[in-house]
Amino acid sequence: MTRFTPSMRKGVKFLALLTAMFVFAACAGDAELDTRSNLAGPEAQSIESFMRVLLWITYIVFAFVLAITVEAWRRFRIKGDDYEDDEFPAQIDHSKWEIVWTIVPALILVGVFVFTLGLHNQLNSSEENPISLVVGDGANVEWEPEIVVVGQQWWWEYQYHFGDVELTAQRIETLPDADITTATQMVIPVGTEIELEITSRDVIHSHWIPSLNGKRDAVPGRQSAPWKIQADEPGVFFGQCTEFCGLSHSRMRMQVIALPMAEFQEWVTAQMEGVELSPETAAYVADLAAGGTTAPEGTEQRAVDTFRTKCASCHVLDGVTNGIVSRPEEQLVSGAAPNLTHFGTRTTFAGGIVNVWDPDTGDFNRNQLGQWLRDPSSIKANFTEPVSEDDARLRGMPNLGLTAQEVDDLVGLLEMTGAPPTVDGDSEFLISETGVE
């Protein structure tokens, strides 16, 4: 028996190390999705405080089991494989012990459950705290505040509905047009409890911003029970789709950007307006929208023309696609494509995996955007083949076979769609914080 004592000791040491590993589990510094550190939401913080106690209970129970095992090995093992017939331990059986170790764990669990119930109720309660917003035209509107979160393969859409709109328990198709529609990045005011109405347009996804709260599935055909998030400090909070949703599940990310109320207000105001074009181009768009067939003059008008012919069947760009009704449902299985009106105010695109702005230089990321327009599948796995012979719909951004000229024009047009909001007065903050490698 002694011959494997050293390895046995090693095993014990290893298990001790393992236990230590769990204790220090939250030590990683650069973990933006960490559920246990850098938490900024009261929900996530409550969960973590509970989790800390819970983990200690499990460490103690495991240490107890391990200690008994190791001590039994130390005290009661016999050397070698043979032993005498008289070497018999007492053949005991005490049912009083059974009672003890049925009751004691049950009592511990009753305690755990009582606290669980409290936390569960805290997470699932919500209070209505309407806030007043000044929207684009200077009018005051009440905002619940709630945001409709829509998952689709493989990006997230966020809809803001101002005024008195009943959003709860509505199917996504029946919702009225949103006042603001954005993709991949949700912008919220700091210190405000936001109610999320989460749903999906195709398969099941799961919306998760670990540093603010746990996750909630986005189920097609239904809206989740309200799920709230709140950020207590300005910043960028990363998220990742956590329900397996097919090919590019791993490339379906999102960020929540929490802004102080004033900056949030500015963001809202900007989002309510269309893209700013030169007066000539704006007139050109108005002409086209009215049924005109003027030929484009100059780069900007050419870009507008390309967008209207190649992109507008799925994408909306207010100020450019005027007069066109996008019908993404005819082109895409999910029936939706990101609204690009304020593309430049976001810092990532393609499901949160590519930078709109270079995090080092702060320049518009023309290279990767161009690459995306030329061949989307080279950046993010998509289904470029139609669903079937009878169903020509695609899943994800198709390769449109754009010419180099068209790609350049479109990149130029998208560069005109705004700049990221400032956070606490810092205009570079977002670009450097959301940088994707």
- Write out the binding residues for another protein, residues 362-421 only, by CB under 8 A: 381, 387-388, 391, 395
Contact assessment for residue 436 and residue 353, using Cβ atoms and an 8 Å cutoff: yes
Q: How many amino acids of this chain bind another protein (CB under 8 A)?
A: 109
Nearest distance, CB of residue 145 and another protein, angstroms: 21
Binding mask 16-55 for another protein (x = CB under 8 A): --x--xx--xx-xxxxxxxxx-------x-xx--xx--xx
* CB closer to another protein out of 15 and 131: 15
The whole-angstrom separation of Cα 51 and Cα 32 is 19
Q: Which of residues 296-315 bind another protein (CB under 8 A)?
A: none
Contact flag: residue 225 with another protein (CB under 8 A): yes
Q: Is 10 helix (H, G, I), strand (E, B) or coil?
A: helix
Nearest distance, CB of residue 252 and another protein, angstroms: 9
Kind plus residue range of the DSSP H or E element containing 262: helix 261-271
Nearest distance, CB of residue 426 and another protein, angstroms: 21
Q: Tell whether the torsion through CA atoms of 195, 345, 157 and 430 is positive or negative.
A: negative
Amino acid letter, residue 249: H
The whole-angstrom separation of Cα 330 and Cα 336 is 10
Nearest distance, CB of residue 287 and another protein, angstroms: 39
Q: Which of residues 152-171 bind another protein (CB under 8 A)?
A: 153
Q: How deeply is 85 buried, as exposed, middle or buried, from its count of CB atoms within 10 A (0-12, 13-18, 19+)?
A: exposed
Q: Which of 9, 13, 77, 327 binds another protein (CB under 8 A)?
A: 77
Contact assessment for residue 296 and residue 305, using Cβ atoms and an 8 Å cutoff: yes
Q: Which of residues 239-268 bind another protein (CB under 8 A)?
A: 240-250
DSSP state at residue 25: G
* CB closer to another protein out of 88 and 293: 88
* CB closer to another protein out of 105 and 130: 105
Q: Which of 9, 16, 102, 428 binds another protein (CB under 8 A)?
A: 102
Q: How deeply is 397 buried, as exposed, middle or buried, from its count of CB atoms within 10 A (0-12, 13-18, 19+)?
A: buried
Q: Which of residues 318-357 bind another protein (CB under 8 A)?
A: 333, 353
Peptide bond between residue 73 and the one before it cis (omega within 30 degrees of 0): no
User: Which string of DSSP letters, residue by residue, matches 202-230?
Assistant: SS-EEEE-TTT--EEEE-BTS-PSPEEE-
* CB closer to another protein out of 270 and 381: 381
Q: Which of 105, 163, 176, 298 binds another protein (CB under 8 A)?
A: 105
Quick one: which segment of 1-9, 276-284, 293-301, 302-310 binds another protein (CB under 8 A)? 1-9
Say what the alpha-carbon torsion angle 216, 219, 223, 227 is, to the nearest 10 degrees: 0
Quick one: which segment of 11-19, 188-196, 263-271, 272-280 binds another protein (CB under 8 A)? 11-19
The radius of gyration computed from the CA coordinates of the chain, to the nearest angstrom, equals 28
Nearest distance, CB of residue 75 and another protein, angstroms: 8
Question: CA nearest 270: which of 186, 341, 194?
Answer: 341
Contact flag: residue 124 with another protein (CB under 8 A): yes
Quick one: which segment of 120-128, 281-289, 361-369, 398-406 binds another protein (CB under 8 A)? 120-128
Quick one: which segment of 65-73, 184-192, 270-278, 403-411 binds another protein (CB under 8 A)? 65-73
| CA count, 13 A, side-chain hemisphere, 404 | 0
Question: CA nearest 340: which of 328, 332, 358?
Answer: 328
Amino acid letter, residue 417: T
* CB closer to another protein out of 276 and 385: 385
Binding mask 169-208 for another protein (x = CB under 8 A): -----------------------------x---xxx-x-x
Q: Bridge partners of 152?
A: 155
Q: Which of 9, 13, 16, 98 binds another protein (CB under 8 A)?
A: 98
